[in-house]
Structures are given as structure tokens and as C-alpha cells.
Amino acid sequence: MVALAFLCACATRPPAQPRLVDLVVLITVDQLRPDYLDRFSAQLTGGLGRIRRESVFFPNGLQDHLVTATAPGHATLLSGREGAHTGIVTNRLGVPDSTSPLVGGNGAGASPKRFRGTALLDWLRAGDPDTRVLSVSRKDRGAILPVGRGRGDVYWFVRGGFTTSRYYADALPDWVEEWNRALQLSRFAGWRWDLLLGADAYPEPDDEPYENGGRDRLFPHSLPSDVEGVRKQIGAVPIMDSLTLAFALRGVDQLQLGRRGHTDLLAVSLSTTDAIGAAFGPDSREIHDHILRLDRYLGAFLDSLSRRVSAQRIALVLTADHGIGSFPERLSRQGQTAGRVDLQPLVARTDSQLAARCGESFQLRFDNGLLTAEVARLGGRGISVDSLSAAFADAVARHPAILRVYTPRTLGPAAANDTLAGRIRRSLPTDLGWLAVIVARPGFLFSGEAMKGEHGTMNAVDARVPIAFVLPGVPARTIERRVRTVDIAPTLAAYLGVQPLELLDGTAIPETRSH
């Protein structure tokens, strides 16, 4: 098996005496719920358990914006700013970029061209132009957005190997080519995912009708026997995270991160939790087993990293880009009010009616509560945007699953203590064309696809994430108060003695100061 063994607010004022850190490490686990770290704590003997015990741990971290999805979540982590200022609001309006094709082709182009402003990498380089960066993920948006517009070694996984786009390079470095050749996906054909521990170590039932679209619900699960099948499905099984970590470790060696007398940045986004959570849900035996495996992978990675760079010279942060709620079908069986809300037919019908009237589409798009459109063209064709927004809001407001509906006209005068309105304002750039924001009640999600886990709403289960700092000289403790992911970057800046290059939405967390 190829795992780690494969290759073995305001700008924060920095302190007067910067701490000596050789490597800043951001580990983002896509869809990691904070309760996993306590729910499975007795079985977490590796990296997740170690970080939980040795960190300043905030179990009530918050992705404090409208669409709790991968792109907007990652964009907050090292920028200290929300979508209204980064410009990253949804996945669709995240990193896709046809003008930055992949090196070698074989996939959609991607870049941070929509990202606005700066991030921690820029702040580090302002003081030391020799700062190096390595950012790695299975997903393009998970690799790109934590480092903002900065160029460097940024890679993601496409069709069986790690690559990048021409925004970053015209060709892959030799070490990446060599790693990809050595991977040999054929060795994973028929790979069997069985329980890491005995079945009695898992209280979750192994078979729920809503899991995995009703197919292949029981352990063990296996990858296909052909290479093409492996290529399509490897991102949805635990070993994908081990490959990502192994690749990151190879990059640390090749770039000599943290070993050159400079403060370097390593960002690793691990995406498999998101895939397994979407298929089986956060209450499944599959997510339980995957978290245990991820814990072991991460422990081996941290052990390997500390042999290269002293742990006393590493500043590490663990967090997530969003959470996830239970399947509505599960909640309903438990007697709770829950369900799925599919507004896509209404959006498509409205778009079609406008196109029939005007002879063109105005690109109405609905994404987890946010309805966007080309509003300037609507106005240019004599369509009253306020009337259209109000009509759509009226059409959905009476649905029992809908808590609130905001339009551009009603958002402005919303009360200062309206927390939902505040989150929406923090999320939407002033130049974004939008018609409505629909807020779902707890237990409901925006989905037309039954038996699939979803996230993206402003509900607590989607927005709540763990935030953990392991910083030399800062004692471990658990702090229950709420902090936000936009607080991570200013906290690191203050700890490192680095000056942000612009005003931030987040603030440095005082509990991360040494005593």
C-alpha cells in the first residue's frame, strides 16, 4: 500500500520580539466536525489526538459567512478576511479559470484570479522575499485559496497524479513528475477498505438505507479492479489523504522547507473526509473509521516532519473549511423536523421565462441559499431587479423549510442585531450581482438529490469547525468561546511578528500568547 510509507477588523500589531519559527503549517481537513475530536478521542492515538491534546483548542470555531463550502471556507483561513473582501463567495465563483490551463492538460484550468487582496504568504514575503510555500490538496480550491494570489509550489490531484496550472508554472518540476510516475495506480486495483479496529469498537450501525445512494453500504468497500476505475474513485477512500500527506512530505524535502534560515509556509488540505461524509454522513461507521485512519496518517506525517524541522520551531494550525449536518432522512426517522429543499426548478423556470421574454439568459444560479444573476443586464433590458427579487422571495418565503429571505432592498435596512444579515453582508462583495438569499431552518438543506450528504447553509452544523493552534511556548488548553476562521491569519501574524498588508475582518486571539 502506498501511504506515508510510499516514500517512507484591523491589521494586527505585531509583538516587539518576533518568535523564531522556521515553518508555519496549516492543516485543513475538509468537512472536519469539531465533535469528532472528542467523540472518537479514546481511539485517536495519532496526529488528530496529539493536536487535540497539545493545542490551544477552540471547539466552537466558526466559518462566519453565507455559503459554507470549500472555496469560501479555504479563502478565509490565511487571509483574515471574509468573502465580501476576498471575492470568494461560492465554489462556482472560486478558482475555475479557463485562461490558466493545467500543466499537461487533462482537466479544467484553475487559478486565484478571483481572489482579492493579500494573505499570510504575502505578509511573510514582504519581510522576507525568500519565503517559500508548498500548498497541496486533492482539490484545486483547497490548494490554491489558502495562499491567495501568491505564486509558488501549489499542487492538486487530477486523474491519478498531482499537477498545477500555468498560473504557477509552465512545467512540473522533476520531483513531481517522478512522484507521479512512481505512484502506479494499478497497485490500488481492488484495494479493500475494511475496519481498522474490531467491529465492536464502532457503535454506529453499518447499514443505513440512505447511505451512499443506497449502494455498497456495508464494510468492506473496495476500489475497482481496473486502473480507470481506481482513477475515478480513489479520491473517495481514506488512502487519498495518505497520498496527499506523502506528496507534501516529498515537497518539504525537495524545497527544504523550514531548513534554510527563513520562515516558510506549508499548507495541506485533506479532502477525503468531505467525500466520505457526503456519501455516508457524519453519523456513519465509515466516517468513524476514516477519522481513525486519518489520525494515524497524520501522526506519521507529523513524526516525519519533526525529524526534518524541530517541533519547537513549527507553528501549526488545524482547522476545517466547513462542517456537515446529519442526513435529513436520519433526523426524520428520529422524529425531528428535517428535509431537503430543491429550489433549482423554480430558478430554472424563472430563467427560462426571462429568456423567452428577452431572447437571452441572465444566468440565474442558485447555490446553497444564494441566488445570483447578471443584474446589470437585467436592468439594461428593462427588468426591475427589485421586483424580480421580491417575486422570487415571495415564492419561497412560505415554504415551511425557509427561515428568512433577504433581497438587496431588504438587506440594507436590516437591524444591526440581525446576525444573519451581518453574515450575509460579510459574504457578498459590493459588485456581486445577486437577487436573493434564502436561509434554511435547522435540519433542512438545499438539495434535489436524495440520499446524499450536503452542507453549505448558515446553520450551525455546517458553519461550526475546530480551530487548534500548536505554538511553541503557548500552553495547551481548551477554550469554549467562539472564534472565527478569519482570526487564524491575524493570530499567526501576531505570533510571528509579521505585519498584515491590509485591514482584516479577523483579530488576533489573545489566548495564543505565551505566558
For residue 468, report the phi and psi dihedrals to the nearest 5 degrees. Answer: -130, 130
**DSSP single-letter state for residue 165:** B
Percentage of the chain beyond pLDDT 70 is 96
Confidence of residue 449 (pLDDT cuts 50, 70, 90): confident
Do residues 66 and 438 lie in contact, with contact meaning Cβ atoms separated by under 8 Å?
A: no
Confidence of residue 105 (pLDDT cuts 50, 70, 90): confident
Look at residue 5 in the predicted model and tell me its pLDDT. 38
CA-closest candidate to residue 284, choices 219, 192, 239, 336: 219
Look at residue 154 in the predicted model and tell me its pLDDT. 98
**Mean pLDDT of all residues in 379-397:** 93
Look at residue 515 in the predicted model and tell me its pLDDT. 55
pLDDT above 90: residue 13: no
pLDDT tens-digit series, residues 18-46: 558 999 999 999 999 999 999 999 999 99
**Mean pLDDT of all residues in 43-56:** 98
**Mean pLDDT of all residues in 3-29:** 62
pLDDT tens-digit series, residues 120-131: 999 999 999 999
Bridge partners for 135 per DSSP: 154, 267
CA 114/CA 107 separation, integer angstroms? 19
pLDDT above 50: residue 374: yes
Task: Map residue 370 onto helix, strand or coil.
Answer: strand
Task: Map residue 392 onto helix, strand or coil.
Answer: helix
Domain boundaries, the chain: 4-327+458-475+493-512, 339-446
pLDDT above 50: residue 16: no
Confidence of residue 7 (pLDDT cuts 50, 70, 90): very low
pLDDT above 60: residue 110: yes
Which of left, alpha, beta for 10 (phi over 0: left; psi -120 to 50: alpha)?
Answer: beta
pLDDT tens-digit series, residues 389-427: 999 999 999 899 999 999 999 999 999 999 999 999 999
**Which residues are CB-contacts of 423 (< 8 A; sequence separation ≥ 6)?**
64, 65, 66, 458
CA dihedral 122, 128, 129, 133 (to 10 degrees): -60
CATH tag for 339-446 (out of 3.30.420.40, 3.30.1360.150, 3.30.565.10, 1.20.1560.10): 3.30.1360.150
The alpha helices in 87-217, defined as continuous H runs, are 120-127, 140-144, 174-183
Here the cell at position 449 is 438529490
Look at residue 4 in the predicted model and tell me its pLDDT. 40
CA 248/CA 513 separation, integer angstroms? 29
Look at residue 513 in the predicted model and tell me its pLDDT. 85
For residue 399, report the phi and psi dihedrals to the nearest 5 degrees. Answer: -65, 135
**Which residues are CB-contacts of 490 (< 8 A; sequence separation ≥ 6)?**
9, 11, 12, 80, 500, 504, 506, 507, 508
Do residues 60 and 484 lie in contact, with contact meaning Cβ atoms separated by under 8 Å?
A: no
pLDDT above 80: residue 10: no
**Mean pLDDT of all residues in 212-239:** 95
CA 160/CA 185 separation, integer angstroms? 7
Task: Map residue 42 onto helix, strand or coil.
Answer: helix
- Classified by CATH at the fold level, domain 4-327+458-475+493-512 comes out as Alkaline Phosphatase, subunit A (3.40.720)
The 3-class SS string of 291-350 reads HHHHHHHHHHHHHHHHHHCCHHHEEEEEECCCCCCCCHHHHHHCCCCCEEECCHHHHHHH
Look at residue 18 in the predicted model and tell me its pLDDT. 53
